Amino acid sequence: MAYVRASWHTAPMVTENFIAPAERNVKSNRRFQNVSFILPTIGILILLFAFVMLCFQVAAAMNIPRVDVPTVSDKSPFGHPGLYRLKDGSYQAYFAADVARFNPSTMTIPVGSKVLFFVTSPHQARGFAVAETTVNMEAGPGWVETTSHVFDKPDTYLLVCSLNCGLGHEDMYAKLEVK
């Protein structure tokens, strides 16, 4: 016992740079934890970036038109949404799906018309569906969705948001009067 005690007391002094083995393990574990957190995060960010770029390329390849969100309400045609008659006798209908409303909220369409609908949303994804027809779209912010429909019979058609888009969703409707 005396020998052991003597060796303990004669052990080298702990210097400032000396790190006890247990403490060294803790530091090395922390470093490992930091790396194991940072690397997957960087990987996920790279994948996310690649996915967003891919979406833009797919949209460009599909020729999906876009609008400039901050100025969409200042410029035609979404700045002046409504029904436009083309030279060939067909119609284009522009709608902006905004918070708790469609703009315009009413539209009169001549019976028998072929209407090409354009819809965009400046803030978030909104639905656009005309009851009793096959018109049903989803417009993301800045994206312009289109579809067409021929209105053969006179009626009042209800236009609703077909996407549960949150606050004000239940107030999102408009009327299309075909006569």
Q: How many other C-beta atoms are found inside a 10 Å radius of the C-beta of residue 53?
A: 10
# chain residues binding Cu ion, by CB under 5 A: 4
Binding mask 113-152 for Cu ion (x = CB under 5 A): ----------------------------------------
If the CB atoms of residues 144 and 161 are measured against Cu ion, the closer one turns out to be 161
Residues near 105 by beta carbon (within 8 Å), at least 6 away in sequence = 174, 175
- Alpha carbon distance 154, 145 (integer Å): 25
If the CB atoms of residues 96 and 161 are measured against Cu ion, the closer one turns out to be 161
Q: Are the beta carbons of 163 and 126 closer than 8 angstroms?
A: yes
Q: How far is the CB of 138 from Cu ion (least distance, A)?
A: 10
- Alpha carbon distance 63, 71 (integer Å): 21
If one asks whether residue 169 binds Cu ion (CB under 5 A), the answer comes out as yes
The site for Cu ion (CB under 5 A) is made up of: 161, 165, 169, 172
